[in-house]
Amino acid sequence: MIVSLRRPDADAFETLLTLSHEQHDHEALPFDRTPVAATFNTLLSQPERGDVFLIDVEHEGETETIGFLVVAYSFSVENGGSVGVIDQFFIQQRWRRQGVGSQVIPHVEARAKEKECVAVILEVNIGNKGARLFYEQFDYQPRRQHCIMTKRL
């Protein structure tokens, strides 16, 4: 199995939206296509703000798009410089626990280094022990006594 990342072109944009809808359904979140599409378009047209990648798997001579990844770039005084924030990381259910994510994370970290990031930050649902253990095997550490808070403007 060969895993690769690619930036979606116009022909793959609908696939990206379909995968995003699947992710929202999986996480029991509402999906509003118009703002999601606008946000993806912003990132794709302004790569300094972040990267959007489709995740492809080549298996038994066939290539299939099975997920997507969004990394936003920011700055952190606490971390001492630029950081990559994994905002979205989705792999279709039938491809999970098959080593796809383990091949994607090194690509993300290499890209973050190319962008001169000093750290990669991500968010995991506190109840998702499997995801926490997955990221910990790549040396991601939970921040004790912290929670992420959001206010929509």
State the pLDDT confidence band at 125, using cuts at 50, 70 and 90.
confident
pLDDT at 39: 94
Contacts of 63 (CB under 8 A, 6+ apart): 56, 57
pTM above 0.85, yes or no: yes
| Mean pLDDT of all residues in 89-100 | 94
Helical residues (DSSP H) of 86-145, grouped into ranges? 100-114, 129-136
Structural domain boundaries of the chain? 2-136
State the pLDDT confidence band at 5, using cuts at 50, 70 and 90.
very high
> Which of 128, 33, 16, 10 lies closest to 68 in space, CA to CA?
16
The amino acid occupying position 70 is V
Element (H, E) at 83: strand 81-91
CATH homologous superfamily for the domain 2-136: Gcn5-related N-acetyltransferase (GNAT) (3.40.630.30)
Examine the pLDDT at 144 and tell me if it is beyond 80: no
| Mean pLDDT of all residues in 102-130 | 93
